[in-house]
Each structure stands twice: as structure tokens, then as C-alpha cells.
Structure 1
Amino acid sequence: MRVYWNLRYAGKRVGQYTIDRLLGEGKYGLCFLAKSGNGNQVVIKKYKKSLRKDNLPDRINKAVILSKLEDERIPEFLGVINVSGFYGFVLAYKRGSTVKDLLFTHRHIFSWEEFYHIGTQLIDIIKYLHDNGVVHRDIRIPNVVIDQGKLSLIDFGLARWADKEASYDLDFSYLGDFFLYLLYSNYERQNKRKPWLKELPWYDELSLTQEQIMFLKRLFGMEARYDNISDIETDFIKFFNINKRF
């Protein structure tokens, strides 16, 4: 489908923007890299037609959320395109590589120092969101971009204002899962030549201290869940500082 969408939209002008290429396709629509009239690169998230009428309040809510966030680590909301059946949001483009690409395309192994510095930056971004009443709800490896050691968090398609149905702790489980991807990049399976042996759960398989295991279990809700991101930040710095190796 990527070839089809590129053939259909590459070079097409929508509003003041010219589409360059497809970045990705998701449940709600298409994501394009484009250029503005002055040559600046932007991201255009085009919504599927079937979602436009039914999800109008939801789309308005996302636009309001993005427009309220002002942080260089989060894509700036630049506006809305609604021309000739093409409806989408325009966002600033964040340069760099996603953690997903680093892991699975480039086979990057994250060192302990990288893990710690990435963790502290990501927690700080989540802290900013929560301080502003926003729950991201999709903190995954495709949505974290690294450019020369600096992090950005993208794709706010599932973001919500915090309430009873969208509580802050939804982001904690995603954060724990994200951390496991980085930790496993540095893990060499001992029994890879014996595939018949049963794999162990992460807390028995990874070389982590009991404090580190408890930290991750609390993120997942396997133990008493953290109350807020500030407590997570404190414990992460305490338990995962660069002097505590794998």
C-alpha cells in the first residue's frame, strides 16, 4: 500500500503544502512528509473519510490539546487542512530516528548510559504532559524520536485530557514496555541454541537489581502502581543511574 499512496499523493499540492512522501499508515489515516511554501518540512496527518463526521468532537479535542502544548520536544501544531475532500492536521516535523527503527532496522544496542539518558528525558516529557493535564496513551518505540541524543515524543492521535477514563497511569504501563525494549537490546539470550527450553519472564531473564525489577513491576501494575510521574522520576534516577550496570 505504501507504493500506492506514494503514487497517488507524492507531489500533490494541498493548501499551501506539497506532499513529498508517505511516512506511515495507521488505523485513523495517513501520515505524510510535506513542504510548506517557504520550503520548511512538515508532517500532515490525513484522516480517513469514515472518521470525519463521527469523530468530529474527538478531532477538535486533539487539535485543542496539541495547540495548548508548547515544548520543543513535542511537534508544534501548525493548523488544519480541509480542501477538496482532504482533511488533516499539520504538525512540525521532528528530525531523527524512531527507537523502533534504531532497534529493528539499524540493530542498535542501547548502552546503560544511553538507557539512563533516554529514560530521564522521556520521563521529563511525560511530566510536562501530565503537568498540563494531558495523557499521551501511546508511548511506544515508533513514537519516540532521537536526534543527536535528544528526544521528541510524537503521534498524539490517542492523547486525551486526563479524567476517570483516561488516567495518568495509562502512560506508566507504556513507559515500562518502552524500557523493556531498550533493556532487551543489550540482552544476549543464553539458551538461543536450545530453542526447546522455555523462555523466562523478563524479571527472571534480565540482569536487574531487585530495586529495578520492583520499579518496572510498579509501572506495569504488577505491584502497587505509582501515584504520579514525579515519584517515577525520583525512583528511576535512584535505581537506574549510570553507576548501576547491567
Structure 2
Amino acid sequence: MMNRIITRWRGMMEAWRDYPLQQGAVWNGRYRVDRLLGMGSYGQAYVCRDLESGAVVLLKRNKPSKGQVGIELLRRENAIMEQLSHPQIPVRIAYSKRRRDEAIIMEYVEGFNLEHAIYEQKMTFDAREALSMLQQLLGPLRYLHAQGFVHRDVRIPNVLLQDGVLHLVDFGLACRVGEELPPALRDALGEGEAMAAQSAAAVKHRMRGPYPSSDWFGLGHLFLFVMYSGYEHPEGAEEGTWMEELRLEPEIEQFVAKLLQDEPAWQSTEQCEEELISLLHKLRQAH
């Protein structure tokens, strides 16, 4: 009984500490909150107005209840974003500290993510459109890998669509190629535990490796999410593999399988991109 009371009290305290900044609140005398954009496991994102420049910006602060781990993840993200400059990656503008809270100020990319497009707007895509999305994303990923970093979270919520152009966002889990995270961060992110071969945790584990192939795997998973947006499972039919259900053209199926395989299929992201460009060219010629 007492344990349940303590657990409930802790939950209430965490919810109170993480209560979002209210519309009109001003962060550090400069950034006025227009609205809460989203809340993740370790951070909160707000659309703000920079009162000095007049620009609309995105403010991402640590989630207070996550303590030092949330701050450490935010500082890591800031340090990586500070080194990046690519048109499909938001520009890091500043880093701001306010008492115990800290925040990254970055370019606000106005648009909607693929998760919203699929589940809220009910948008569907064919295989060629989905492959074209991968081609767009391979640009910022090739750049990122060349700078020595891995995103480690290439998923539909982290891909924004703005005027027909895809942007890669949320570098909160990014790391250097080959980097082993400190034990405290690995434990907090659930990356130090053993994972079953056939589980959602295994998919997460596969995507979290500090190597470019983890982002290729993320692209493969993203492709399947996009394709299943228009898939209707036949009534009464048994569930099959993605290969059985989606019935893709052989060349497309082969490429996606290479993205998803355990052993890296290419020596570099450039090679992956070149193969995809060649595949898209062949598909256009065939139709």
C-alpha cells in the first residue's frame, strides 16, 4: 500500500516538474513561447519568437524530471548540431541556460512529419515515391556520416516535410561513429540490456548502433512504414512477412532487404546512395 502511494506521489511530482511552459512565457528574457510543439522522453520542444531578431525559432529544453541525464543528452545534441551545416538539417542558433534548465535554440522548420502525414492526413505512397524519400534522406545522412556522426533515430517522427523537401531532425540520440556512450546514458536509454532477436526492442537496438549501417537500417524501416500506409490486409488472411505482403518488384525488394540486413551491405553511405540512384533510373526507364 505504502509503495503504491510513494509511486503515485513520485509520478505527480514528475508531472508537475515537467509541466509545459505556457504560451506567452519568456525564456531568459528573449524567447517568447508561442506554443508547445512536442514532448519526448527527455525533452520538450516549443515554437518561440526571438524578441531581439523577430525570428520564429524552435526551443528544445531538457525535461526537468530527467535530471542530469536530460541535460547531458541536450548538451551532446548541441555539441553535434554546432558542427553541422546542411540545408536539410535545422541550423543550431544558440544554447541558453536558465537556472537548472537548459535549451538549444535552433531554426524552426515549418511543416509536418511523416508520422502526421501517414496517421493524421492518411497520406499513402507507392514504392517509387517511398524510394524517392530515401534518396532525399541519403543526402543529409551522407553529409552527417562524412562529418563523423550517426543519427541513430531515423524514423517517421523525425522526418519533416516542408514544401516537398524532407528534413532530418532530432539529433538527441546522435553520436560519433564508433562511440560507446557512458554507462549512465546507456542505462538511461535502455541500450545496455540484452534484447531478444525478434522484438521491438531488437529493432531499437539495431537502430542504435554507432555506425552508418544503423541509419541505413532506419531508412529500411522507414520505407516499410511508408509502404504499409497504403496496405490493406486481406480479411481472413494470415499475417505474412513484409516481402509476402507488400509484393514489391524484385529489384526494390532486394535493395530494401540490403538496408535491413545485419551485415553492412555497403562500405559507405555514398555507395548506398549510388545504388539507389541507379535503381530509380532503371525503374523510370522500365515505365
Instruction: Tell me how far apart the structure 2 counterparts of residues 91 and 31 of structure 1 sit (CA, whole Å).
Output: 10
Instruction: Tell me how far apart the structure 2 counterparts of residues 96 and 74 of structure 1 sit (CA, whole Å).
Output: 13
Instruction: Tell me how far apart the structure 2 counterparts of residues 208 and 12 of structure 1 sit (CA, whole Å).
Output: 51
Q: CA deviation at 1:245?
A: 8.5
Q: CA deviation at 1:48?
A: 2.3
Which of 212, 218, 226 aligns to 1:182? It is 226
Which of 232, 250, 256 aligns to 1:216? It is 256
Within the alignment, does 1:17 sit opposite 2:51 as a pair? no
Instruction: Tell me how far apart the structure 2 counterparts of residues 77 and 164 of structure 1 sit (CA, whole Å).
Output: 22
Which of 39, 52, 61 aligns to 2:54? It is 39
CA deviations on 1:169-206 (whole Å, 9 max, x unpaired) are 111111100011122223343x1x32xx3111101111
Letter in 2 for 1:182: V
Instruction: Tell me how far apart the structure 2 counterparts of residues 26 and 160 of structure 1 sit (CA, whole Å).
Output: 18
Q: 1:224 to 1:113 in 2, by over 3 A?
A: closer
Instruction: Tell me how far apart the structure 2 counterparts of residues 25 and 112 of structure 1 sit (CA, whole Å).
Output: 31
Q: 1:99 to 1:72 in 2, by over 3 A?
A: same
Gapped regions of structure 1 (runs ≥ 5): none
Q: 1:23 to 1:57 in 2, by over 3 A?
A: closer
Instruction: Tell me how far apart the structure 2 counterparts of residues 171 and 206 of structure 1 sit (CA, whole Å).
Output: 22
The answer as to whether partners of 1:139 and 1:178 remain within 8 angstroms in 2 is: yes
1:170 matched residue in structure 2: 214
Q: CA deviation at 1:124?
A: 1.2
Within the alignment, does 1:154 sit opposite 2:195 as a pair? no
2:198 matched residue in structure 1: none
1:243 matched residue in structure 2: 284
Letter in 1 for 2:134: G
Within the alignment, does 1:81 sit opposite 2:121 as a pair? no
More displaced stretch, 46-55 vs 119-128: 46-55
SS at match of 1:138: coil
The answer as to whether partners of 2:61 and 2:74 remain within 8 angstroms in 1 is: no
SS at match of 1:114: helix
Instruction: Tell me how far apart the structure 1 counterparts of residues 83 and 263 of structure 2 sit (CA, whole Å).
Output: 34
Gapped regions of structure 2 (runs ≥ 5): 1-14, 181-209
Q: CA deviation at 1:214?
A: 2.1
- Structure 1 residue runs of 4 or more that deviate by more than 6 Å after TM superposition: none
The answer as to whether partners of 2:42 and 2:70 remain within 8 angstroms in 1 is: no
Q: TM-score, normalised by structure 1?
A: 0.87
Which of 125, 130, 134 aligns to 1:115? It is 130
Q: CA deviation at 1:114?
A: 2.9
Letter in 1 for 2:140: I
2:77 matched residue in structure 1: 62
Letter in 1 for 2:259: L
Q: 1:56 to 1:10 in 2, by over 3 A?
A: closer
Instruction: Tell me how far apart the structure 2 counterparts of residues 32 and 234 of structure 1 sit (CA, whole Å).
Output: 37
Instruction: Tell me how far apart the structure 1 counterparts of residues 87 and 110 of structure 2 sit (CA, whole Å).
Output: 12
Query: C-alpha root-mean-square deviation of aligned residues, in Å?
Result: 2.4
CA deviations on 1:43-95 (whole Å, 9 max, x unpaired) are 11110235453566554332221011011211111111211333111111011
Letter in 2 for 1:65: I
Q: How many residues are matched?
A: 239
Instruction: Tell me how far apart the structure 2 counterparts of residues 10 and 116 of structure 1 sit (CA, whole Å).
Output: 39
Instruction: Tell me how far apart the structure 1 counterparts of residues 239 and 217 of structure 2 sit (CA, whole Å).
Output: 22
Within the alignment, does 1:137 sit opposite 2:152 as a pair? yes
Identity of aligned residues (%): 28
Instruction: Tell me how far apart the structure 1 counterparts of residues 278 and 225 of structure 2 sit (CA, whole Å).
Output: 21
Within the alignment, does 1:93 sit opposite 2:108 as a pair? yes
Higher helix share: 2
Instruction: Tell me how far apart the structure 2 counterparts of residues 245 and 130 of structure 1 sit (CA, whole Å).
Output: 32
Instruction: Tell me how far apart the structure 2 counterparts of residues 57 and 160 of structure 1 sit (CA, whole Å).
Output: 13
2:200 matched residue in structure 1: none
